[in-house]
Chains A and B, each alone.
Chain A
């Protein structure tokens, strides 16, 4: 019996030792650490991250000299997301960066005790996510809904209904749908929104929108839907229905056009903001979050041609070409 107790204690001790050595090892660097918690792996969020690092560089901070970076990806797993954030806090990160709403919320919660500044990227509605008060700031990727509606009207003068797919559990999508429904009538559109509870339901929801004979689809920055855009486009292309994206990567994949955000630029903007905090020129608490005011019109001429969408000359002239 005694021997067994010894065994167990040595096992426990080994586990704790292993953990300690790992922690010590990773704390060796004395540079201020920026902990980046990216919620999932998809091109828009990757662009946020690379843009953010570029923004820090543009602001004159060099990785390895002025700061070091600890990048973690939560793989859309909420438990992992929380644990990554608390690990950053335990390791006394100088700054925590949350990319996408769930990661931003997890970082902000974990940062509470030590009052570590938190910077978020790509949070659509910071107020709804309770990210407006406290030592936190960042950039919002609120969709330019009005510009998107204007764009659709120009490209499809006869269109009446716009179909939108969204994930019920994403607050950013829920608020965007509300905005669409509010603004659509002034452009002569009605909105057919279909919410899904899980990503696996997207194909069925797509079919139901096609069956309702919507004139086009418009995308939100909905993680669940954007992830499976290729399968949506396969169906809509077969049915001859144009899809409007919410940012450039979606247009590259085959959406006809988008009045959208460039997430790389959003990242740069956030990186510059973070540089001010790292240099102690300003406190995150004192900087209000910045919304994107600039957006671009992106155009995929190949897709427009295939779906017989005629692009007016003025739109074609001002748009950024984003063919695959």
Chain B
């Protein structure tokens, strides 16, 4: 029983990285970024390739983030410089990334048990002693999720972070400050996709494999998690956005786990996600109407 909770919690913590990424693109920039479905497996492909070639598991993370950043940069440049619509810019990069991911990894690539991952580092054994593997996975993912939450919180307080937030809320203000709204958008996409690729990298190490289709539906999954989190904490202004994303991610994975445990037909799972998603949005919109407010979800 406890195992089931730990496993769902671990998944939620790992996917929190994806949710931070979507928090930036969707919530802060108001940019529906489909690059995610390509940058997630990109991070995984890079990691699988490096780690099977003997690179240290920790070192693969910054490389994966860099790869994700480049993907975000591509979408940003396509959108800002070529004036391609946001949704299309993301689709173009995502489509290109599908081939690139396959070229990087060859084909679907397993990481053999003999190869150490983030979760089986010898240093962890020394530190945690006899903690079980699922315990280690929980601790490592907890540390990573919190670390990046605090880093993001810090970043949002810097000048660049403030500008990023303004670019989504009030582009006029950004322009009046003599700053380029385009540059802020590109920066946001770079940051967002590097987090998404990082998530792909950690997932790849956790499940010890890269598969070319692992990115499918990640954008919607992340979006659903972020919106769950934001809805739950809607009335609490003191709760940070990153906290909302983190909790949303965990709640989402709990829901999926409950559905699997209940023996739900997996082919219906996506439909249920969509209905859940719609219900949350509908409740939010209903409440706003009752209060007469006009804020968007």
Known A22-B258, A27-B1; judge A73-B263 contact (CB<8 A). no
Give the residues from 188 to 231 in chain A that come closer than 8 angstroms, CB to CB, to chain B.
Answer: 197-198
User: Cα distance A19–B8 when bound, in Å?
Assistant: 10
Produce 1/0 per residue, B207-225, CB < 8 A to A. 1110111101110010000
A130 touches B112 (CB 8 A): yes
Give the residues from 1 to 17 in chain A that come closer than 8 angstroms, CB to CB, to chain B.
Answer: 1, 4-5, 8, 11-12, 15-16
Produce 1/0 per residue, B104-125, CB < 8 A to A. 0011111111100000000000
User: Cα distance A39–B266 when bound, in Å?
Assistant: 11
**Is the C-beta of A237 less than 8 angstroms from some C-beta in chain B?**
no
B102 touches A8 (CB 8 A): no
CB distance from A114 to the nearest CB of B (A): 9
A106 touches B110 (CB 8 A): no
**Is the C-beta of B256 less than 8 angstroms from some C-beta in chain A?**
yes
**Is the C-beta of B175 less than 8 angstroms from some C-beta in chain A?**
no
User: Cα distance A174–B258 when bound, in Å?
Assistant: 37
User: Cα distance A80–B132 when bound, in Å?
Assistant: 24
User: Cα distance A195–B287 when bound, in Å?
Assistant: 51
Produce 1/0 per residue, A112-146, CB < 8 A to B. 11000000000000001110011000000000000
CB distance from B131 to the nearest CB of A (A): 11
CB distance from A39 to the nearest CB of B (A): 11
User: Cα distance A22–B260 when bound, in Å?
Assistant: 10
B1 touches A24 (CB 8 A): yes
A105 touches B102 (CB 8 A): no
Task: Return the contact of B260 from the options A78, A84, A169, A171 (Cβ within 8 A).
Answer: A84
**Is the C-beta of B70 less than 8 angstroms from some C-beta in chain A?**
no
A77 touches B7 (CB 8 A): no
By a CB distance below 8 angstroms, the chain B residues around A197 are 98-99, 102, 212
Smallest CB-CB separation from A3: which chain B residue?
B235
Produce 1/0 per residue, A56-94, CB < 8 A to B. 000000000000001011111111101110110111100
CB distance from B116 to the nearest CB of A (A): 13
Task: Return the contact of B7 from the options A4, A27, A86 (Cβ within 8 A).
Answer: A86
**Is the C-beta of B53 less than 8 angstroms from some C-beta in chain A?**
no
User: Cα distance A18–B257 when bound, in Å?
Assistant: 11
User: Cα distance A215–B209 when bound, in Å?
Assistant: 38
Task: Output the residue of B8, B110, B251, B255 with the most chain A CB within 10 A.
Answer: B110
A19 touches B254 (CB 8 A): yes
User: Cα distance A23–B257 when bound, in Å?
Assistant: 9
**Is the C-beta of B277 less than 8 angstroms from some C-beta in chain A?**
no
By a CB distance below 8 angstroms, the chain B residues around A108 are 113
**Is the C-beta of B232 less than 8 angstroms from some C-beta in chain A?**
yes
Task: Output the residue of B218, B254, B266 with the most chain A CB within 10 A.
Answer: B266
**Is the C-beta of B261 less than 8 angstroms from some C-beta in chain A?**
yes
Produce 1/0 per residue, B255-271, CB < 8 A to A. 11110111100110100
User: Cα distance A77–B235 when bound, in Å?
Assistant: 35
B266 touches A84 (CB 8 A): yes
**Is the C-beta of A30 less than 8 angstroms from some C-beta in chain B?**
no
By a CB distance below 8 angstroms, the chain A residues around B208 are 105, 109, 130
CB distance from B148 to the nearest CB of A (A): 20
By a CB distance below 8 angstroms, the chain A residues around B267 are 41, 73, 75
A87 touches B214 (CB 8 A): no
**Is the C-beta of A290 less than 8 angstroms from some C-beta in chain B?**
no
By a CB distance below 8 angstroms, the chain A residues around B55 are none
Task: Return the contact of B5 from the options A5, A16, A78, A109 (Cβ within 8 A).
Answer: A16
B269 touches A109 (CB 8 A): no
Give the residues from 89 to 112 in chain A that come closer than 8 angstroms, CB to CB, to chain B.
Answer: 89-92, 101-102, 105-106, 108-109, 112
User: Cα distance A15–B248 when bound, in Å?
Assistant: 12
A8 touches B233 (CB 8 A): yes
A4 touches B235 (CB 8 A): yes
A171 touches B107 (CB 8 A): yes
B4 touches A87 (CB 8 A): yes
Task: Return the contact of B113 from the options A82, A92, A134, A168 (Cβ within 8 A).
Answer: A134
B217 touches A77 (CB 8 A): yes
Smallest CB-CB separation from B260: which chain A residue?
A87
Smallest CB-CB separation from B214: which chain A residue?
A78
**Is the C-beta of B11 less than 8 angstroms from some C-beta in chain A?**
yes
**Is the C-beta of A170 less than 8 angstroms from some C-beta in chain B?**
yes
By a CB distance below 8 angstroms, the chain A residues around B8 are 19
User: Cα distance A107–B132 when bound, in Å?
Assistant: 18
B107 touches A22 (CB 8 A): no
**Is the C-beta of B134 less than 8 angstroms from some C-beta in chain A?**
yes
Give the residues from 239 to 291 in chain B that come closer than 8 angstroms, CB to CB, to chain A.
Answer: 251, 254-258, 260-263, 266-267, 269
By a CB distance below 8 angstroms, the chain A residues around B107 are 168-171, 174
**Is the C-beta of B126 less than 8 angstroms from some C-beta in chain A?**
no
A89 touches B7 (CB 8 A): yes
CB distance from A205 to the nearest CB of B (A): 15
Task: Output the residue of A90, A105, A106 with the most chain B CB within 10 A.
Answer: A90
Known A19-B261, A87-B261; judge A11-B108 contact (CB<8 A). no
By a CB distance below 8 angstroms, the chain A residues around B110 are 105, 128-130
CB distance from B42 to the nearest CB of A (A): 14
By a CB distance below 8 angstroms, the chain A residues around B212 are 168-169, 197
By a CB distance below 8 angstroms, the chain B residues around A76 are 213
B256 touches A113 (CB 8 A): no
By a CB distance below 8 angstroms, the chain A residues around B5 are 16, 19-20, 23
Counting from the closest, the 4 A-B pairs by CB-CB distance are A113-B133, A169-B212, A90-B3, A130-B112
